[in-house]
């Protein structure tokens, strides 16, 4: 079983607004309310891939009730810790006329120390049956930046691998705990290493730099696919993976779906290139549908034939 952790879960609305412009009154052409947050998106995509998964995290107030109700309505197994403060609500505005989207994310609830202790106990219980624990998304207010790092270390002591997909200081500190996998997007990786990426060499240096900070395996997701550093015993392989060209409906949650595709392929024991092919195809399929984590697995399977996986040579030391 895969366990996904979403500490800053959200009641998420994705609305379609053609010709969206700031300062103007619009009428949405479509709307989709969902349980949201990166870990929940990963859980939704894993369920679509028939991978046993349970979603956990923190949920509070009326928004928290809606989150749990939506997950239950989708038949996604979940076990959240109830907290006193209100979970956040997020809004994504998708403009199909120019293939753009705008995200509006609240900070999230205040979390008390005793609520975090309850979550620690919950995760320790759930992880007993886990082959991997995925930590994804931002931390709510008053949760220390080293929270992910501490729970990853605890899992490691119990020989349970973890994946980390977050940003900022939580990612920097989390890397020191040596997670099995980290999966930042390009902007998050650029912020981490302190420079922009323009070509293969920049990505290769970033992959190595992030791995040197503690991650065993690294995925840097991009709009066209991903770059990856994957270890096999003592050998390190680096890849550029590109998806076929598509007309996107919405890119919201595509990176989360890609991560789920990778985890599902890893769980099935695929080789490196096939893992990456399945991951990028799942992420590509998700841009064809509205709603983070939603995609058609049959479309993902069809898209695999158009995914290119290129192994890259190591950057020579200067």
Q: What is the pLDDT of residues 31-74, one digit of tens each?
A: 788 899 999 999 999 999 999 999 999 999 999 999 999 999 99
Q: What is the pLDDT of residue 49?
A: 97
| Beta-bridge partners for 55 | 4, 78
Q: What is the pLDDT of residue 197?
A: 95
Strands (E), the chain: 2-6, 10-16, 30-36, 53-60, 81-83, 88-95, 100-105, 132-136, 162-165, 181-182, 217-222, 225-232, 235-242, 308-312
pLDDT surpasses 60 at 88: yes
CB 214 within 8 A of CB 173: no
Q: What is the pLDDT of residues 211-249, one digit of tens each?
A: 999 999 999 999 999 999 999 888 999 999 999 999 888
> What confidence category does residue 314 fall into, taking pLDDT thresholds of 50, 70 and 90?
low
| Cα 142 to Cα 233: distance, rounded to the nearest angstrom | 39
Domain-by-domain residue ranges, the chain?
2-312
- Which pairing describes strands 308-312 and 53-60: parallel, antiparallel, or unpaired? unpaired
Residue 147: name the closest of 162, 132, 159 by CA: 162
CA distances from 300 to 49, 75, 171 (A): 10, 21, 29
CA distances from 261 to 50, 226, 258, 267 (A): 11, 12, 5, 10
Q: What is the pLDDT of residue 95?
A: 82
CB 135 within 8 A of CB 154: no
pLDDT surpasses 60 at 168: yes
Sheet holding 181-182, edge to edge: 81-83, 53-60, 2-6, 132-136, 162-165, 181-182, 217-222, 225-232, 235-242, 308-312
| Cα 309 to Cα 8: distance, rounded to the nearest angstrom | 34
Average pLDDT over residues 178-196: 95
pLDDT: is 155 or 32 the higher one? 155
pLDDT surpasses 60 at 316: no
The listed range with the strongest mean pLDDT (103-112, 157-166, 307-316) is 157-166
* Region of poorest pLDDT, from 175-179, 199-203, 245-249, 307-311: 245-249
CA dihedral 193, 196, 201, 203 (to 10 degrees): 60
Q: What is the pLDDT of residues 297-313, one digit of tens each?
A: 999 999 999 999 999 98
H/E stretch holding 175 reads: helix 168-175
pTM to 2 decimal places: 0.92
CB 219 within 8 A of CB 260: no
Q: What is the pLDDT of residue 22?
A: 78
Q: What share of the chain has pLDDT > 90, as a percent?
A: 79
**Mean pLDDT in the chain?**
92
Q: What is the pLDDT of residue 94?
A: 79
> What confidence category does residue 4 fall into, taking pLDDT thresholds of 50, 70 and 90?
very high
CB 102 within 8 A of CB 93: yes
* Domain made up of 2-312: CATH architecture: 3-Layer(aba) Sandwich (3.40)
> What confidence category does residue 275 fall into, taking pLDDT thresholds of 50, 70 and 90?
very high
DSSP for 185-210, written as a single string: BHHHHHHHHTS---SHHHHHHHHHHH
| Cα 41 to Cα 163: distance, rounded to the nearest angstrom | 14
Q: What is the pLDDT of residue 309?
A: 97
Phi, psi of 220 (to 5 degrees): -110, 110
Q: What is the pLDDT of residue 315?
A: 53
Three-state secondary-structure class, residue 214:
coil
Q: What is the pLDDT of residue 318?
A: 38
pLDDT: is 104 or 160 the higher one? 160
Three-state secondary-structure class, residue 237:
strand
pLDDT: is 291 or 126 the higher one? 126
| Cα 251 to Cα 221: distance, rounded to the nearest angstrom | 12
């Amino acid at each position: 079983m895969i366990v996904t952790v979403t500490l800053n879960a959200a009641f998420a609305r994705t609305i379609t607004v053609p010709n969206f412009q700031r300062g103007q009154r619009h009428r949405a052409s479509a709307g989709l309310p969902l349980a949201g947050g990166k870990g929940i998106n990963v859980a939704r995509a894993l369920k679509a891939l028939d991978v046993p998964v349970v979603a956990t995290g923190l949920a509070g107030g009326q928004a928290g009730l809606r989150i749990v109700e939506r997950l239950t309505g989708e038949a996604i197994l979940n076990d959240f810790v109830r907290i006193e403060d209100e979970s956040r609500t997020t809004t994504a505005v998708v403009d199909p006329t120019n293939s753009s989207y705008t995200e509006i994310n609240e900070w999230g609830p205040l979390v008390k120390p005793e609520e975090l202790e309850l979550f620690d106990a919950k995760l320790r219980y759930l992880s007993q049956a886990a082959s991997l624990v995925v930590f994804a998304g931002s931390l709510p207010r008053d949760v220390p930046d080293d929270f992910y790092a501490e729970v990853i270390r605890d899992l490691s002591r119990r020989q349970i691998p973890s994946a980390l997909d977050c940003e900022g200081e939580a990612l920097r500190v989390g890397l020191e705990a040596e997670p099995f996998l980290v999966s930042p997007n390009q902007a998050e990786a650029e912020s981490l290493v302190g420079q922009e990426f323009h070509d293969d060499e920049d990505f290769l240096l970033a992959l190595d730099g992030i791995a040197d900070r503690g991650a065993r395996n690294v995925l840097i997701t991009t709009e066209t696919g991903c770059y990856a550093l994957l270890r096999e015993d003592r050998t390190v392989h680096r890849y550029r993976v590109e998806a076929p060209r598509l007309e996107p409906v919405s890119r919201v949650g595509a990176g989360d779906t890609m991560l789920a595709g990778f985890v599902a392929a890893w769980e099935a024991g695929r080789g490196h290139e096939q893992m990456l092919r399945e991951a990028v195809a799942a992420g590509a399929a998700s841009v064809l549908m509205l709603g983070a984590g939603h995609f058609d697995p049959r479309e993902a399977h069809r898209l695999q034939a158009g995914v290119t996986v290129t192994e890259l040579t190591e950057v020579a030391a200067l």
